[in-house]
Each structure stands twice: as C-alpha cells, then as structure tokens.
Amino acid sequence: MTRPISQLALARALAFGLAFASVGTTLGATAVSAKTQEEMPTVTNDMPKPVAEKRPHTYTVHGITVEDPYDWLYDKSYPVVDDADVLQYLNTENAYFEYKMAAQAPLTDALFKEMRARIKEDDSTVPQKDGDYLYWSEFEEGAQYRKHYRKPVAGGEAELLIDENALAEGQEYFRLGAASISQNQRFLAYATDTNGSERYTARIKDLQTGEHLPDVIENLRGDLVWVKGDTALVYGPSTEEWRTLEARMHVIGTPVSEDVTLYKEEDQSFGVGTGLSAQEDWLIIATGDNETSEVRLVPAANPTAEPILVKARKKGVEYSVDVRDGELWVWTNDDHINFRLAKADLKTPGDWQTVIAGSDDFYLTGFDLFKDFYVTEGRLDGLDQIQLRQYSDAAKITPIAFPEASYTAGLSNNPEYAMTKLRLSYQSMVTPGTVYDYDVATGGLETLKTQEIPSGYDASLYVTERLSVQARDGTMVPVSIVMRKDRAEILKQAGIEGPGPLHLYAYGAYGYAIPPGFSTSRLSLVDRGFAYAIAHIRGGDDLGRRWYLQGKLFDRTNTFNDFVDVGRGLIAKGYTAEGKVTASGGSAGGELMGAIINQDPSQYGAIVAHVPFVDVVGTMLNEKLPLTPGEWQEWGNPITDKAAFAYMLSYSPYDQVVAKAYPPMLVTAGLNDPRVTYWEPAKWVAKLRELKTDDNLLLLKTNMGAGHGGQSGRWNSLKETAEEFAFILWQMGMAPQD
C-alpha cells in the first residue's frame, strides 16, 4: 500500500540539495543528447589545461555590480544544450580528465575490483508480505539493475514484475522511479527516466496478462497513487521548469489529455505530492516548500469530491497528516521547534489537540499509524529512536533498543495496516546493514538478513568513535569516525611518518542528517590507513530542528565554519595533520567544498566536489530555473532582499574565488542535471583555472548523458567511486608507483 506522504520528506525531495532523488520524470523532445567520443578533442601526450574564454558580462542588483565573464557557459536555450562552444569546452575538460587520470587507470581498476568483490552480486531483498503476495527484488550476478518479483503467500511460482535490465537495454542512463501495485494487486504502474533529467514516463502493466495497457503518462514527477477501485492513478506532472504544482488524476483507458486536476498550486515556490492514508480510505494532497505546509484530504473512493483543507498555510509552520478510523493525526512544529504529535476530528480538522508534546531533548521526526499501535521516530542526542505507542495510552512508550553507542536505525518496508511484526533497518560505521523483524507482542528482534561481504569483513579490525569538536563560536559539533585498530602499523608499512590522512565528509543543508552508517566502498580508504569522519554540522538536523535552522539563511556560514573547525580540531587531536585532510561533498555538500577551500585551503590535501551548488547568487537570481523559487526559504531571496543578496555574495564559492593556492580538486557535473545545472561546476572550474596560483591538479568531469546522481547502474556508479578514491590516493602520495 502507499503510506502517507510526509510533508518534510516532500519538501526535501523537491529540494535540489538532495542528491539522488528517488522520484522524477522523462525529458522527451527537449532531452539533452550525449556527445559521442568521436566529438571529443584528441588527447595528446602534452595536452594543456583547458582554458575557458572570458567574455565580458556584468549584472547589477541592489546597486552592486558583479562581473561574470563565464556566464556564456550557461546555454540560454537550456534545457536544450546545443551551443557548440559550450559543448566543445565541456568535451575538452572531459578529455583532459581522461588524459590526467590515464596513469591512474590501474589503481582505479584495482579499487573497482576490490569494491565489487565486497558486493554480493546475486543479492536480494528480504521478501515482505503485502496482501496476498510476497514482494522482493534481486540482482543477478553481473547485472547492473534489479529484477522485481512476487509470489503468492499461499504458495506458487515467482512472478517477474519488472526487469530493470531489459528496460535499460540500449540506454546510456536508466532509473526506475515510482512503482505502485493496484489495490486489487492486478496492475503495476511504474515510471522510468532514461536520461537523468528526472522527468519520468509512466506505464501500466496488467500482471494477469503480462501486457502493458495503452495508457502512457509522460513528463511525470512524483508518486503514482491508485484510487479506490483501481480505476485511476493520481500523479504529479512537471512544468517546463521542473516544478510539480498539480495533483492530477488519470482514469485508466482514457486519453491523458482528459486527465483531471484535483489540486493546482499557485505559489511557484511550493511543490505538490500525494499519498494514501494508513487505511487507504483518504487521498492526502500535500503542498509546501522547505518551511511551510498545507494539506488537503479527499475520499480515495471519490477523489473529485470537494477537498477538506486541514489548516491553511502559515509561514514557518510545517505539518503532515494521516487518518485512522475517521480521526486525523498531525505532526507539526506549530508550537515547538522539535515538533509535536496531535489529533483532530475530521469535522474540525484545524483544531489540533496535543498527543505528544514537543520536547527540547527529543526531536520527533515522524510517525506511522498501524491497526493496534503506532510508531514514532526521532532522535535523542543525535541518535535514532524508534518507539512503539498505544492508542489508549500515549504515555506508554516501548523503545526498541539497539546494541551500539553510535548507529542509524529506522522503520523499513511496512506496507500493511495490520502489522504484527515491524520490518526495521539498522547499521553503524562498523556494522553492515541488517534487516530485522521486531515482534510487537514479544519485543523480540529477529535478524532476517545481514549484508554479506563476499571478499570478507572482520568488524573486530575496526573501531568507531563519536566525539565533539568545538567550533569557533563555542558550539560543540558531533563527529563520527571509523578507522582500523592497526592504523599506525598500516601507515608505517606505507612509509607514512606521523599522523595519517583523514577523509572528512558532510552535507549540511535542508535539515538532512548524515547518519553514521556502513559503507563497503569506504573500506578502500580505511584499509589503506585513512581515518574516515562524518561531521554532523549545522544545516543538518542531526541534533534537532534548531541545529538545522542555525545553518540556513543568514546563519549559513555556520555550516562552513563548523566543517573547517572540525577538521582543525581533528588535526589538533592527532587524528591527522595539516594538508592531510581530504574532503568530499555533493550538491549542497559541493557548495560546502567550495566554501571551505576559499576559507582554509591549506588544511586539505584533496577535494572532491560532486555536482556542486557553487554559483549560489547566479542561481538564486534566476527564477526561471527549475527549483529556484522553492529554494529562497533555504538560502534567501536575493532578488527582493538586499541583505540576502549581500550575504549570499559574501560566501558564494564561485563569486569568492580569488588569486591564491587551492588544493587538488576533482569536480563532477551532469549535463541533464535539473537540480544543480551543469554550468555551475563548469563556471567554477573555469574561474579557478584563471585565478589559482598553484600547480595543483584541477579536473572537471561532466556526465554528458546523466543527471544529478551521476551514472546509473550499480557497476557504473561504483566505477565513479573508484575514480574518486584513485584521485584522492594519488594526490595524497599513496598511489602505487611504477
């Protein structure tokens, strides 16, 4: 079944700062086509650094004039990118990347092979019951993509629902987006993206006949929700600017041109999402931006009925809802920054009565309703909490306990309303991903699956720590670290004197916490003597909602300062040394990379910035771009607010590049990326090449047929991680010598 949509999750999914969105759509006629290898410049033995032409361009805002000589790299016909000069520059940078990385090909291949050896190739998910069937997905050995199956609970043969490999055949890029089984379990609606633009095409498969219905919905963003009786699907179409401003209904068997709009949002900064209530009797239509929500309800059996407005939007108030036995449940921050849980009568949906009050200590991040109990999730001192509660006694709390001092845990796939066992996920920086069933009646945890590492993994060889480092304003910033217990001996054998290298990672935006989870790829650095640290900096909500608010708008620079100060603190504590910190981040985390090298470049030995949001001012001034209006609540609106413009200009990585030495850098981009458009990293690299005073390596790699998440397919994606780690090891002097 479709669980109700969280408004916070909706806002975050719509925010371009989140890399790797799970839903999206297909660009169609305006899709950017990849350039072929034949069009790339010839690589020679003495290939010079690419130099982008400077073309005079200025703009004036609030009386301040800004020079932007690389504005021409923004193809004004976007989303079509066909400017010959732009494509030539990007292809030249790609050729230079290939040329410089060629000597590291053996290391890249070795890293890829060891990373792949840690992955169980013929892996599968744990089957989960939903109605009359058990559903699961699996990889076949060597396959890039999954196959999705089901079989009757009563017994019978497995039935192939979707073969992603077949759908991806002949495509440079493929991603499966939303997928939804009809309530009678006969039909499967699913959406696919074949260029990374996050505009999906939806189709409907009749699981009885194996044939596809003639219905095809193009230009889709968001979920696919079946209404009562399975006569129609509710979906979110995309505007030309990649915004989802409608909840639209398609009646099966009718022309898409006749689809009915159930709700249309007029505010361009808001985004619309849909879901079903716990008992699947109400369609929930949620709209909101990064800080404000508004929800409407319509009967799932009569979706064109007059919607019930739960409560009119009020700036800064977020809420999401569910319905059980005609009673409305509400999660909201209306009277406490860390959210409360409330109830209301559907006849008076805006009259919210507190069930669980907001707390300074406990950060309530969400709730799920089931037939005989409900579950709250949140964080206490930055650690995940899962709590069972009774409808008859909200004060009676049954916490689910986990064995480690630092971990990440949460509800997993729980599709049915009448669950007696809860599916949970758990991992830590030293414990591989584990799937549990929690028996609600007995409180017992049953291990269903632990991530298998075919090449071998011994957790006893590693140690994880959680410590706090003081930032310059006195704030204590949590840090999670993992390393080998014999790290000193590994470094000695590698001929490294003194403290070893440390890789520092963070995100720091949109209230998105980076959990201290497990990574098999990370082991390729850790086993070579790196310490690996996650800085839980402000801008995320690791320590509660206030932690997030202290890293946005006019407090944005706290995020950058925290990261720099964590690195400096770890140097002071002896984990690493000056120039031995490597760092990486993507999207808004890529903005972080740009800011920290402007502030403290000597700390870092190598930087990797994936699809970095670095032209902050230029993007936030361009309201025609896909997500700009929705981002003003996160960064500020420089069009109307002079103070916001000046503050943004003071930290925007692209605008703050100056003539000084910068560390070695690898920068990535996606030509079809609607979240961080390709020209942001391209302009940034061009300006860095012009102004930096060092001879350190600077590389730009643009995926010409992909978007925000890089290449698709598990092996293609893993190869890019191997390239990243090869670059880091090379720049740290740890690559094998000929």
| Alpha helices (H) in 573-709, listed in sequence order | 588-599, 616-621, 628-635, 642-651, 679-691
The answer for residues whose C-beta is within 8 angstroms of residue 504's C-beta and 6 or more apart is: 533, 534, 535, 563, 566, 567, 570, 581, 582, 583
In this structure, what DSSP letter does residue 701 have? E
**Three-state secondary structure call for residue 445:** strand
Q: How far is CA 583 from each of CA 248, 261, 400, 519, 727, rounded to the nearest angstrom?
A: 43, 46, 35, 16, 12
How many DSSP H helices and E strands does the chain contain? Answer: 14, 37
Sheet architecture: strand order including 383-390 = 362-369, 374-380, 383-390, 393-399
Buried b / exposed e across 142-161, counting CB within 10 Å, b at 16+?
A: ebbbbbbbbeeeeeeeeeeb
Q: Quote the CA–CA distance of 113 and 109 in Å, as a whole number.
A: 6
For CA atoms 518, 522, 523, 528, the dihedral sign is negative
Helices 84-101 and 679-691 pack at an angle, to 10 degrees, of: 70
Cα of 252 vs its chain's centroid, Å: 32
Cβ contact 680:667 at 8 Å:
no
Cβ contact 488:511 at 8 Å:
no
Exposed, middle or buried by CB within 10 Å (0-12, 13-18, 19+), for 714?
A: middle
Instruction: Tell me the catalytic residues.
Output: 587, 673, 708
The answer for residues whose C-beta is within 8 angstroms of residue 170's C-beta and 6 or more apart is: none
Q: What angle do CA 576, 577, 579 make, to 5 degrees?
A: 120
Q: Do β-strands 665-670 and 698-703 pair in parallel, antiparallel, or remain unpaired? A: parallel
Q: Quote the CA–CA distance of 362 and 340 in Å, as a whole number.
A: 10
